[in-house]
Amino acid sequence: MKAYLLNQAGGVENLVLSEIDKPEINAGEVLVETKAISINPVDVKVRPHDEVLNMIMQTEERPVIIGWDIAGVVAETGADVTDFKVGDKVFGMVNFPGHGKAYAEYVASPAAHLTKMPEGVSFEDAAATTLAALTALQVLETRVKEGDKVLIHAGSGGVGHFAIQIAKHMGAHVITTSSAKNKAFCMEMGADEHIDYREVQFEDVLTDIDFVLDGMGGETLAKSVKVLKDGGGAVSLPAPNFPEEVIKEAEARNLNVEFILVQSNGEDMNTLKAMLEAGTLKPHVSATFPFDRLQDAHRQLESGRTVGKAVVTV
């Protein structure tokens, strides 16, 4: 089968399309013939840096196959697998954090990380509704309640466009940030208010926010804690090392400021599947690349300007 091997951390040219053996599966795994793969900022963060690569992949072995988000067709099932059969269309985030090995024509996935694709959903849309959607779900489901005023940064991005829809579905009042060109898209996703971060400093116009989902980190996080009401909460996604001023403000005003790392979870995939079926969650794929142009998908993510998701078809 064809797969992208990363022999050494580095630029996109280090992702080398290679011919290797199909993976073997263990009793709890299924072999998925990959039809679509989604690309995330974490893919382009691990690729160039050995320490980030080792930390997220939880291995120092080389070569590695990066990537975690897949949709495809079950080609084989392990002896203990009862939920899936050969021919089922499935999607999920495989072994995150860990060695997902998704940039490949076949992927060995724990059955517990997958769910079946709903009828009428394309492989591209299913692949898109994985890491980014799981992140939005895992952040919001235990931290937001009906009537909360929620601020979602980068509402036009992969996580943001799912987060707007999920928070809205939970009955929150959703305020989001992006540049002006993506305002219409954010409103279409269900936002109640939009702030163009290039024109308006959100900390000048917002106050008494219950919860912030911060996809930017750094200065944006420092400003975000200032708009929280006392006792409010924030999850910052890019990095766990918060600025000193954020830690002090959180202590002084009883704010719950957290970093979380999304985790593979088939139960949560079932929830996303149900939301796709109900029409309460709609992925937006703005860029699609063929498998032999996967490096261009990395360049797209590196731009920081992706609207919704970028997907590679296999």
Ligand X SMILES: NC(=O)c1ccc[n+]([C@@H]2O[C@H](COP(=O)([O-])OP(=O)(O)OC[C@H]3O[C@@H](n4cnc5c(N)ncnc54)[C@H](OP(=O)(O)O)[C@@H]3O)[C@@H](O)[C@H]2O)c1
15-44: contacts with ligand X (CB under 6 A): 40-42
Smallest separation, CB 215 to ligand X (Å) = 3
Among 7, 26, 59, 179, binds ligand X (CB under 6 A): 179
70-109: contacts with ligand X (CB under 6 A): none
Distance CA 76, CA 30 (A): 6
Nearer to ligand X, 23 or 308 (CB): 308
Q: Is 222 in the site for ligand X (CB under 6 A)?
A: no
Distance CA 188, CA 56 (A): 34
Nearer to ligand X, 200 or 274 (CB): 200
Distance CA 104, CA 34 (A): 7
Residue with tokens 């937006």: 284
Smallest separation, CB 168 to ligand X (Å) = 17
Smallest separation, CB 108 to ligand X (Å) = 23
Nearest in space to 113 (alpha carbons), one of 143, 41, 10, 98: 98
Max CA pair span of the chain: 59
Q: Tell me how far apart the terminal alpha carbons of the chain are, to the nearest angstrom.
A: 11
Q: Is 306 in the site for ligand X (CB under 6 A)?
A: yes
Nearer to ligand X, 77 or 138 (CB): 138
Q: Is 135 in the site for ligand X (CB under 6 A)?
A: yes
Distance CA 82, CA 77 (A): 9
Task: Reduce the DSSP state of residue 70 to 3 states and report it.
Answer: strand
Beta strand 173-178 pairing with 256-258: unpaired
Smallest separation, CB 169 to ligand X (Å) = 18
Name the token pair of 312: 């590679």
Q: Which residue is nearest to ligand X (CB)?
A: 157
Q: Which stretch binds ligand X (CB under 6 A): 73-81, 111-119, 179-187, 250-258?
A: 179-187
Smallest separation, CB 148 to ligand X (Å) = 20
CA 114 to chain centre: 15
Nearer to ligand X, 78 or 238 (CB): 238
Nearer to ligand X, 29 or 214 (CB): 214
Q: Which stretch binds ligand X (CB under 6 A): 1-9, 18-26, 74-82, 254-262?
A: 254-262
Q: Which stretch binds ligand X (CB under 6 A): 85-93, 98-106, 246-254, 298-306?
A: 298-306
**Sequence-distant contacts of 79-88: CB under 8 A, at least 24 apart:** 79/27, 80/27, 80/28, 81/27, 81/28, 81/29, 81/30, 81/111, 83/111, 84/30, 84/111, 84/114, 84/116, 88/116
CA 100 to chain centre: 14
182-211: contacts with ligand X (CB under 6 A): 182, 197
Interface residues with ligand X (CB under 6 A)?
A: 40-42, 45, 131-132, 135, 153-154, 156-160, 177-179, 181-182, 197, 215-216, 237-238, 260-262, 301, 304-307
